[in-house]
Structure 1
């Protein structure tokens, strides 16, 4: 017993040496992330807020070797290998976060755009770049060639009639058993061909059923333009087929792109559609979708991305950046993709409280230069609202109405009051169930509808392909 006690005492005495001995190249100078963060706090007299779950089972190799003279340099060295970062919340306080691949510093974003811009210098060299970008984008989305269209006809609900416009809900089958749902707003009185505006939803509460979304589409219709509002993937009525978490998968971007292509296909079959006046405008994630669709599909003749475009922000949702569209042709960004719409009219609406805050300083001058290659600088506009935030509010909608009226030759006076102000008060805000295609409880969902993420992957992988979209 005495021998065992002496052994224990000796072992305890040498325990610190044994621990220290592990700090060598044989053990990669490895320390737990929690210990390293605690040491940073003590050494630099700062506070780093983190949860136990964030640091659990995370380790830093060569930890002590990553320390530098400043806390910011040290944090960068320590956190980059474990795909984490910090946000500075005060002069001496930080908050630990997962690495945000889609958020760059303003300086880094501008530098990237500047390096991209060196690849062309006139219309001819830019057109060559576009010829490389467009098919590469389709391939990055696994839409080259496109899946064949299902032979089914759209499912259309009964039309509702309001003051100067009508609404009907439409479901379009875009893959076998996969539906994209929306609402089509039409002017009641029109002659000849009329323009169309696609209105993709953003990541806001109440999806396309929101009052501001209805106001926008109905007001466009009252002005003489069809407007088609549609769901994101695993959003709105798409939740009848998928779980909400399925939206956070990379195929969301693929489905939404294919869905918009098939919506355009359908709209162009309508006898009243003017194919030379087909536009698109969405906000936030719908704004990223707007930019991508205007870059991909030359049938789109006008675009208006709202609170979306920035050279230092790539979209924080897989439906915006889940597929490697930004990696094509040695790298691109959302501002260069927006330039692919040139020389078609484009309105960028930005604000002072999100990642679009610096649009007038650097990114918009780049777009003006690109439109200048065609002698069409006047066709790209930026309405910047420095005191506003991330929404599609009244001032942003008003800017859209004026832009669409000017470029699609519509009468803006149809939606103005006696004082010349935009008047949305004539719009009827529908209750959500009225906007469903498949009933209050999904009871009219077709029997062949697929359910679940795994089934979607199978259907997409096995779908016959029809043609290359840019051939």
Structure 2
């Protein structure tokens, strides 16, 4: 992986540029992040690692991302399903039964269970009386989606369907044929479809405007309960996609629990939105032994519905790479005349290369069906059946030809009825109950992750740190090369005698980042500083022009004993500001009020700032033969705290004037401090705890809200923590200098105004 490189600032500063600008007037740094944001309609190529070991490391990271982004890390408790199977219908070669069970207390999954008719199944291959089973999420349109008479005739004429009766319900057709082949098959309702009525289809799939309940109280208080599309759900990574993923996991639990099912032979197939669910479940659940996710394995459009998107999921990845997490287990799909049309030359060759690392190129397949639009039609199903037959060992005779069956009516498919009344808890109140249950599950699971907790098994802080790295989308990196900068000197002294000011850029080729910074040194200092203080401050380096007298005093007193002060522009500051919106996040141009359409594909501004801060700390470490200390103030304090907690660089001491910042205070996803999942994983308390036992001086002058964290508040006796007097907003110069200096046994400065050594 590329390391951090320094680009010399040997460009003449234009007349209109500010005093500390790195770039000429009118030019931005060569930073890829200043371009357009990515959308779900972008290009998502799959770059295959060179070795199997490299892929396995990448796969572990991706699975962690899926679990975190869907709100399932740590996994909730698998509560009793309380499954009810009723209303058996006997058909030619198969049976149909209605099913409902609780994926979590009070939330019901509904669907139809198709079983082989043991007396008439011709090709079934049960082992010890048990059949393989296939989970079949239906996709948009619902499991009972029915073509009109005119539509089915058009399908038959185009060769997309074969029969009038069975072809009218194509999503049930695959369940029938799989049952006739000897597979127990469960097709379960997506949220808002069929008998899944507790959250409406309008809410789940067409949430065009924020509801009153989605918004924070106007008095500024924090709510104690919230629905799925609220900012409070975002801050805890609670989403429709996450709930559907949990429903899929529990549906697999249901199938595996059936007495006539072989839990070692489980498969999955779904189309369109159901294909998205098949991709995710195959990625995170090793019980899926063979998969056919159709219509969504693509380097193009990634899924346009709310139910197919959640924050963090596709940052630096896409559906093809996520589908590749099945490897080396068998996985197949098709390319059609839709967003999958390029798969045959952009996606499928890379999948074959990956499977080749395992010596299993025969375990991946993408069939050319470009003559059809987006579908899971008769022809596509005819590709899926032999795939399942081969890899589940069904023993069906080739060729497998789908047979007709009598119409399955809407009444046949009804789960709820007089003897089985539908749940009464519905709507916003049900959403709130689901979110509260998920919140309680997260709190219980995170107790052992909290550093120094009674339940800490030794890896708790490692799990918590990794969760924070995931919600900040921090890629693992190594410092393979670092070049000394030929920095540009400036004549401006910032009103401090004896100071030399230089500027430059820190470039990270892997991230496409170019971070402008200013370096302050005593003008007679040696080339290699004995120590570096990195000051993350509001406004970045440009704000040095307007320092207060206290800040100038701080600079004077820190620039002794061969010290250097580095002040960077973090993303969104100074020369890295975008569009002049210093107090808001950038979001994509989409009228739908949904964070995941932006932050499912792009890092938050805070995430970019933390990554910048980590790179600056690495650079500072390369500058000094002695030590690196950190000072974080103003709106740059949260990013500096996260960088200290998550950086691999050894920081000697850090002082952070947090002054009441809490991630929970973000009231919309456009807030600059918005980070999905930040409240779930302990807010700033967790970051402070992750710095321990390294020396940290903290000032925090706001009373902490009991709602701002799902885990216990920060202990006062945390190792390495020193608390500053929270009263007042003045810069505590004397205390900061003493803390950042005496920890290294360095001299205190002289009392006059000039910088002395």
TM-score for both structures, normalised by structure 1: 0.70
- Checking the alignment, whether the CA contact within 8 Å between 2:335 and 2:368 is kept in structure 1 is yes
Shift of 1:386: 1.3
2:431 match: 453
2:116 match: 187
Q: 2:321 aligns with which of 331, 336, 340?
A: 336
2:344 match: 360
Shift of 1:462: 3.4
1:373 match: 357
2:195 match: 237
1:101 match: 39
1:466–1:222 distance in 2 versus 1, CA, 3 Å: farther
Shift of 1:459: 3.7
Residues 1:462 and 2:420 aligned together: no
Q: Secondary structure at the match of 1:399?
A: helix
Shift of 1:207: 4.7
Q: 1:228 aligns with which of 177, 182, 186?
A: 186
* Distance in 2 separating the partners of 1:467 and 1:204: 36
Shift of 1:316: 0.8
2:374 match: 390
* Distance in 2 separating the partners of 1:342 and 1:152: 30
* Distance in 2 separating the partners of 1:182 and 1:255: 16
Structure 1 or 2, whichever has the larger Rg, is 2
1:213–1:206 distance in 2 versus 1, CA, 3 Å: closer
1:31 match: none
Q: 2:253 aligns with which of 242, 265, 268?
A: 265
1:184–1:205 distance in 2 versus 1, CA, 3 Å: closer
- Checking the alignment, whether the CA contact within 8 Å between 2:98 and 2:413 is kept in structure 1 is yes
1:185–1:101 distance in 2 versus 1, CA, 3 Å: same
Q: 2:136 aligns with which of 196, 199, 203?
A: 199
Q: Secondary structure at the match of 2:195?
A: helix
Shift of 1:225: 0.7
Shift of 1:453: 3.4
* Distance in 1 separating the partners of 2:383 and 2:57: 33
1:51 match: none
2:97 match: 168
Out of 429-438 and 298-307, give the one that drifted further. Answer: 429-438
1:251–1:207 distance in 2 versus 1, CA, 3 Å: farther
Q: Secondary structure at the match of 2:412?
A: helix
Q: 2:87 aligns with which of 158, 162, 167?
A: 158
Shift of 1:214: 1.2
Shift of 1:340: 0.6
Post-superposition Cα deviations, 1:369-406, rounded to whole Å, max 9, x if no partner, equal 01001100011011121111111111001111111111
Q: 1:142 aligns with which of 71, 75, 83?
A: 71
Q: 2:60 aligns with which of 131, 137, 140?
A: 131
1:254–1:208 distance in 2 versus 1, CA, 3 Å: farther
RMSD: 2.7
1:293 match: 281
Shift of 1:220: 0.3
- Checking the alignment, whether the CA contact within 8 Å between 1:242 and 1:453 is kept in structure 2 is no
1:254–1:409 distance in 2 versus 1, CA, 3 Å: same
* Distance in 2 separating the partners of 1:206 and 1:269: 23
Shift of 1:171: 1.0
Shift of 1:197: 0.9
- Checking the alignment, whether the CA contact within 8 Å between 2:142 and 2:194 is kept in structure 1 is no
* Distance in 1 separating the partners of 2:87 and 2:99: 10
| Map 1:317-332 → 2, pairs under 5 A | 317-327=305-315, 331-332=316-317
* Distance in 2 separating the partners of 1:459 and 1:273: 30
Post-superposition Cα deviations, 1:410-453, rounded to whole Å, max 9, x if no partner, equal 2333xx8xxx561321x23311122222128x970245677543
Shift of 1:464: 6.5
1:122–1:435 distance in 2 versus 1, CA, 3 Å: same
Post-superposition Cα deviations, 1:264-305, rounded to whole Å, max 9, x if no partner, equal 112111222222221111111111111111001111111111
| Map 1:272-311 → 2, pairs under 5 A | 272-311=260-299
1:423 match: 402
- Checking the alignment, whether the CA contact within 8 Å between 1:253 and 1:323 is kept in structure 2 is no
- Checking the alignment, whether the CA contact within 8 Å between 2:114 and 2:175 is kept in structure 1 is yes
2:635 match: none
Q: Which has the higher helix share?
A: 1
- Checking the alignment, whether the CA contact within 8 Å between 2:143 and 2:171 is kept in structure 1 is no
- Checking the alignment, whether the CA contact within 8 Å between 2:70 and 2:310 is kept in structure 1 is no
Give ranges in structure 1 of 5+ residues lacking alignment.
1-64, 66-79, 84-99
1:52 match: none
* Distance in 1 separating the partners of 2:442 and 2:80: 13
1:168–1:206 distance in 2 versus 1, CA, 3 Å: closer
* Distance in 1 separating the partners of 2:256 and 2:317: 31
* Distance in 2 separating the partners of 1:225 and 1:466: 38
Post-superposition Cα deviations, 1:207-249, rounded to whole Å, max 9, x if no partner, equal 5677111111011000101111011112221125435223355
- Checking the alignment, whether the CA contact within 8 Å between 1:282 and 1:305 is kept in structure 2 is yes
1:262–1:405 distance in 2 versus 1, CA, 3 Å: same
